[in-house]
Amino acid sequence: MASGKSAGSGVENPYTLVEWGLVVHLNPEQRVFVTERHLATLTTLREDGSPHVVPVAFTWDDDAGVVRITTNRRSVKARNAGRRGPGGEPARASVCQVEGGRWMTLEGTVEIVTDLAEVVDAVARYARRYRPLTPNPDRVVLRITVDKVMSSAYMAS
């Protein structure tokens, strides 16, 4: 894997090369912000293309460059996440966390994950950041593979 400064630019490279593509890594200020106990908004698109915005709790996996949100498999957000775009492209979603003057938006493709091991891992991560969840056999994970990060100026790299 490779990461670090871009050749000759002096700008920190937020990506790590892995077998299947690039993984977004947050800078230290951003990592601290997404581990503090805050809620965020999740934006997905309804079938008619209009935004569906709901409050959510989420976790960030810096190694994989993904956001994970647990939800019920029949929720509107899960239905929206499972809907492909008009050209067959994967659905997109964003989470935006705000606290006072600090904010950060993580955007990327979203997929529904039903794999039990990943659901269990997501529930454990959620418990570490927020609180333990009650068992739910209909729980799935919305996994956003982040390809765009926006934040308040002091957190931007």
pLDDT in tens, 101-151: 999 999 999 999 999 999 999 999 999 999 999 999 999 999 999 999 999
> Which domains does the chain carry?
25-155 (2.30.110.10)
Is residue 58 predicted with pLDDT exceeding 80? yes
What confidence tier does 154 reach under pLDDT thresholds 50, 70, 90? Answer: confident
For residue 115, report the phi and psi dihedrals to the nearest 5 degrees: -55, 120
Q: pTM for this one?
A: 0.84
Note the pLDDT tens digit of each residue in 63-113.
999 999 999 999 999 999 999 888 899 999 999 999 999 999 999 999 999
- Burial of 27 by CB count in 10 Å (0-12 exposed, 13-18 middle, 19+ buried)? middle
pLDDT of residue 17: 37
| β-bridge mates for residue 58, sequence order | none
DSSP string covering 25-66, please?
Answer: ---HHHHHHHHSS--EEEEEE-TTS-EEEEEE--EEETTTTE
Confidence of residue 21 (pLDDT cuts 50, 70, 90): low
Token pair, residue 75, equals 């929720």
